[in-house]
Amino acid sequence: MTRAGKAVTVKQIQGFDRLAIKQIGIPSIALMENAGRAVARVVVKELGEKNKRPVVILCGPGNNGGDGFVAARHLLNTGCALKIFLIGRIKNLKSDARVNYDILKNLRQPILELCESSDSFRSIILNSSLVVDAIFGVGLNREIAGSWNGIIETVNAAAKRVVAVDIPSGLDGTTGKILGTCVKANTTVTFSFIKKGFLIHRGPEFTGKVIVADIGIPLNNLRGLLGEDSSKPRRCDEWFLNQGLIF
């Protein structure tokens, strides 16, 4: 079940993720699988049946990029033509993202490393049906600059349609401010909750239509699961309160 009616800060959603992984025992890679599958479903709906041009998937080195790799695998299963880019270097891929990168490579799916924009990259974006933005997630806490900036500017100038994974790259999920530059999405597939930054400041300009996807975090039962031992409910409630997770 999703909670589209409630908006959370980045700190709050990260708190839920940590509890699901460390306290409940849901493997982080399972959450990544669910997230990527949810994005792929939305992309298929956005494309319709007459699409013949490839989908471009832009994956960063973190968990957001891992979601993108998963989405790519599920889109391959639908027969969708893909152009997949790793923004950065393979050596910088984090654990779960690296696992899903390796799966695609084992499937002999080409993945191009991209460190800066170019005329050929712009041409690929122009000739695509849709771009999936899986570059940066909610954990981004610095301004985007340099070659990253150029890549995002190319996407904004040339893409016909953009689906953002969890959050448009460059948007602060809490404040709605732009961190240097930001992908302008037509649709944002966000996970578990809408982020507060989607609703304030410049957030609404960049998120487009927001779809809240359930990725398997037991949000409605989390407090009960943690409080099954009668000696723990007060400690559990205090933890939630300290993290700002009591609505």
- The more confidently predicted of residues 51 and 235 is 51
The pTM for the full model equals: 0.88
Query: What three-state secondary structure class fits 168?
Result: coil
On whether the 3-20+27-219 domain is CATH 3.40.50.10260, my answer is yes
For 11-52, the pLDDT digits (tens) are 999 988 988 898 889 999 999 999 999 999 999 999 987 677
Mean pLDDT along residues 80-87: 96
Q: What is the C-alpha to C-alpha distance for residues 141 and 62, in angstroms, rounded to an integer?
A: 13
The phi, psi pair for 171, rounded to 5°, reads -95, 130
Domain boundaries defined on the chain? 3-20+27-219
For 142-171, the pLDDT digits (tens) are 999 888 999 999 999 999 999 999 999 999
Where in the chain does DSSP place strands (E)?
3-8, 55-59, 82-87, 111-114, 130-134, 162-165, 187-191, 193-195, 209-213
